[in-house]
Amino acid sequence: MRKLIISVVVGGLIIFGSIFLAGQIAGSKKNRRPKPQKVIKTVFVDTIKNGTVPIIIPANGNLKAKRRVELFSEVQGVFRSGSKLFRTGQEYSLGQTLIRIDANEYYASVQSAKSNLYNLLTSIMPDLRLDYQKVYPKWQAYLNSFDLNKTTPGLPEMDTEKEKFFISGRGIISSYYNVKNLEQRLSKYTITAPFNGVLTDALVTEGTLIRSGQKLGEYINTGVYELEVSVSKTFGDFLKVGKQVELANLGKSQNYIGKVARVNGRVDQSSQTITVFIEVSDHSLKEGQYLEANLEAREEPNAIEIDRSLLLENNQIFVVRDSILDLIDVKPIYFTDKKVVLKDVPDNEVIVTRIMTGAYEGMLVKVFDGTTPKRAKS
């Protein structure tokens, strides 16, 4: 009995000691987890000052020469070589021969017709000298100036009906116009440059048999080009002829200044756009070159321009008031791919100018003051 009592007492002491030691160990453990700190994000801001914002319409297109000629043949013959080879890229000056077609056979028929006219004139001179002494001198002078190797000069002016009846009755007038018709067609065997330019397309070569109606090539003036762009009909009333336009190449490495040359008076029914032609002149430009244009359609008063990414879906933007983010309603006027023009933004309002992840109304923020404040573009 005595051993049993001793065993119970010893066991109780051991259990009590274990519980006491466990409590001491648990009480001595320190909580090392740091308390979370409240993070205040820094925002970039700008002070608003409303002003007049130009509405710039971006457009693009390919250049086309303002003066261009498609060369066609109205006669038939063999293409003869000239002073310059008829090749793509060849430059010509005003009046230089582009194409010369062999016209020896046709030239002989023209000379024959001119000879017949000359013989008719010679045959009437005795009658004129006897019956029409007053008009004889001018017809004699005309006959003396007649040269078979030169273009036929115009007939002398006939003052009286009697003179007209006599000249017409001898078949001189009909013979004269027959010669002029043949001479006109003979001139079509030679095609000359209508202006200074370059040959952009050559479809025939020397020795080719050219047929009537055949296309021979294309010729352009390299001095002045036109850019054809399409603009929404909303801004059609603001596009005026003569207004300057800023142009840039695809890489933005070169800028040019053009002007609105023409505005189409018809709206495209499928796209509801108006075609605008911008004239630009620069020796570095080439036909077919891609250019981007910025058309100034109109000026919007009492407005500002900000990055499009700052405008929220419900037409609101973030502002900072006493280090607290707030939302205000705005009225978008015009969108571009990067910018948006807004109205109804109060003057001296401090707006957020850079996107901030996780921003919400009522959020505590800190205004970045490392740079000198600047005003929004107006």
The string of pLDDT tens digits covering residues 163-222 is 888 888 888 999 999 999 999 999 999 999 999 999 999 999 999 999 999 999 999 998
Question: What pLDDT does residue 38 have?
Answer: 64
Question: What pLDDT does residue 179 have?
Answer: 93
Q: Are 140 and 125 in contact (CB under 8 A)?
A: yes
* pTM given for the model: 0.65
Q: Are 106 and 156 in contact (CB under 8 A)?
A: no
Which domains are assigned to the chain? 43-54+301-367 (2.40.420), 57-65+222-299 (2.40.30.170), 68-102+189-220 (2.40.50.100), 105-187 (no CATH)
The residue with tokens 């978008």 is 332
Q: Measured at the alpha carbon of residue 325, what is the angle toward residues 319 and 329, in degrees to the nearest 5?
A: 45
Question: What pLDDT does residue 234 have?
Answer: 75
Q: Indicate the residue type of 286.
A: K
Averaged pLDDT score across all residues of the chain? 84
Query: What is the DSSP code string of 37-67?
Result: PPP-EEE-EEE---EEEEEEEEEEEEEEESS
The residue with tokens 């030169």 is 150
Question: What pLDDT does residue 28 have?
Answer: 56
Question: What pLDDT does residue 43 have?
Answer: 83
Q: Which two tokens stand for residue 350?
A: 């401090």
Question: What pLDDT does residue 30 have?
Answer: 54
Q: What is the DSSP letter of 375?
A: B
- For residues 143 and 9, the model is more confident at 143
Q: Are 334 and 341 in contact (CB under 8 A)?
A: yes
